[in-house]
Amino acid sequence: MTILNELSLREASRSLMAGTISSESLTRSCLERIGARENDVQAWTYIDSELALQQARQRDREPSRGPLHGIPVGIKDVLDTFDMPTLWGDSEAYAGRRPLRDAPIVRALRDAGAVLLGKTEVSRFGFWWPSKTRNPLALDRTPGSSSSGSAAAVADHMCPLAVGTQTGGSIIRPAAFCGLAGIKPSHDWIAWRNARDFAPSFDVAGWLARDVADLQLAFQAVTGRAAYAPDGPLPAKTTVGIYRTDDWATPPPYVRDNFERTAARLADAGFTVREVVLPAEYNALSDAQHAIVQFETARLFDWELREMRDRLDKGVRDLVEGGLAVTQAQYNAAQDLGHRLRQRFDSDLGDVDVLMVPGSEGEPPAVHNCGSNIFIRMWMMLHVPDVSLPTGRGPEGLPLSVQLIGRRNEDSALLAHARRIEAALAA
């Protein structure tokens, strides 16, 4: 017997288009899973079951609008939804907040016929410390932050697709910790509006799903670009550049061993695999990214610091006040570095199709620690697309991953290469 909530995005889409299942039955199955597991996983900040079912029934009455028609999708609660609360992870300060407009990615999902299942849990204001959400693969571990609810919901089969956002690592890290495929697209791939700003130089929305083909389907449905179609041709060859980064020695040995095994498996599968050494200037990108985030966040959270300082988490206060100490000259220098390296990154890659780097610093840590983003921040500075791909298990049997980095605005090419790599590793 098919359990509908366990269908992948691709499987659910095909079944809906063929008429063998209804959106209402799929949505009801997801809601039943949420009812059975939410007390343990705590992935959702808002669910209105009747609103979700109303949407699903309406989708069943309409002609199909495309591959996302009738698909239940989770929306991270930093993105505004006109028919649901958006509390930015702070139900006390923003209790009762009901936006008048959707964020653009939410509007695009509605236009594509998706069912907005509810709002997924987010750490307070979207900062990088733990929310209440647990990793469904191990309830004493973190699912990452701040797209914790989106990742946990997909990993626990509460929905086949969820929207996350990232400023420093909040799609890639939860995907890694929950054993999912996730993509942080090229910067500005879709307008960032009607959302809780964190650092405008980096804020971007993306996807969490169960595999790369599901990411491609979501991209195709929202952008309308056939190049993202999951049934499109795979590249005939892929050259993978192995980049160990300046932080190579930081994680435990099992992370490095998994990375090397992954590279060897790709070489055995016929991929061209070669080491890439980027100029030393790239080593400054992570610190520069953190300085920009601090500077911009401090100014965007000025009201919270003035009006509710005593109610802010210590981590929020420390980050905001630390950002006030970043000078304009330091901020300008960090921005200039990013601009210079964005201009030359393509040429520095040479003939490499995909750059492979470690995905996380290890298995998901305990639930009170949302993990590190040391291998992620520099790619935010370059505004390039970044795919998280599960590639193995650590010593405690929990997921490990790699990141696949592409050229800016060549997201469809990155996804195609990532799907070929995923297929080779699965084989």
Rounded alpha-carbon distances, angstroms, from residue 408 to 163, 199, 375, 376:
21, 19, 18, 15
Please return the burial class of 48, using the count of CB atoms within 10 Å of its CB with bins 0-12, 13-18 and 19+. middle
Spatial distance between the Cα atoms of 162 and 205, rounded to a whole number of angstroms: 11
146 counts as catalytic: yes
Kindly give, in sequence order, each residue whose CB lies less than 8 Å from that of residue 372, ignoring residues fewer than 6 positions away.
360, 361
Cβ neighbours of 204 (radius 10 Å):
23
Q: Is 79 helix (H, G, I), strand (E, B) or coil?
A: strand
Please return the burial class of 41, using the count of CB atoms within 10 Å of its CB with bins 0-12, 13-18 and 19+. buried
Spatial distance between the Cα atoms of 94 and 296, rounded to a whole number of angstroms: 21
Active site residue: 13, 150, 170, 388, which one?
Answer: 170
Active site residue: 13, 29, 76, 145, which one?
Answer: 76
The closest alpha carbon to 282, from 187, 379, 358, belongs to: 379
Beta bridge partners of 387: 183, 404
314 counts as catalytic: no
Amino acid identity for residue 52 in this structure: A
Rounded alpha-carbon distances, angstroms, from residue 385 to 8, 84, 224, 297:
23, 30, 18, 23
Whether omega before 148 lies within 30 degrees of 0, making that bond cis, reads no
Q: Are 46 and 1 in contact (CB under 8 A)?
A: no
Kindly give, in sequence order, each residue whose CB lies less than 8 Å from that of residue 405, ignoring residues fewer than 6 positions away.
243, 354, 355, 356, 357, 379, 384, 385, 386, 414
Q: Are strands 161-166 and 204-209 parallel, antiparallel or unpaired?
A: antiparallel
Kindly give, in sequence order, each residue whose CB lies less than 8 Å from that of residue 355, ignoring residues fewer than 6 positions away.
240, 241, 243, 276, 349, 404, 405, 406
Kindly give, in sequence order, each residue whose CB lies less than 8 Å from that of residue 282, ignoring residues fewer than 6 positions away.
246, 341, 348, 378
76 counts as catalytic: yes
Q: Cα–Cα–Cα angle for 97, 188, 166, nearest 5°?
A: 60
Active site residue: 15, 29, 146, 372, which one?
Answer: 146
Whole-angstrom distance between the N-terminal and C-terminal Cα of the chain?
26
What amino acid positions are annotated as catalytic residues? 76, 146, 170
